[in-house]
Amino acid sequence: MSLSSCVTRTRVVTKPATQVTVVKKAPRHYKIVKVKGKRYYFWNGNHYKKTRSGYVVVRV
């Protein structure tokens, strides 16, 4: 005699909401750097990418 179940285990993993930092205007002392052919703005120890809504912090 064998017993089998029709129930399967389902596990839902939710990722925590990512926090996005948007800066409306770049400061005067920013530097333009190119990484792998893409243009980024560097200031305050972070790399930023220009978007319609402002500058977004990115990991390079």
With bands split at pLDDT 50, 70 and 90, how would you rate the model's confidence at 1? low
- pTM for the model stands at 0.65
What is the helix (H) or strand (E) element at residue 51, kind and residue range?
strand 46-51
> How far is the C-alpha of 55 from the C-alpha of 51, rounded, in Å?
6
Looking at residue 50, its amino acid is K
DSSP type of residue 7: -
Whole-angstrom Cα Rg for the chain: 22
pLDDT at 8 over 70: no
Per cent of the chain over pLDDT 70 is: 72
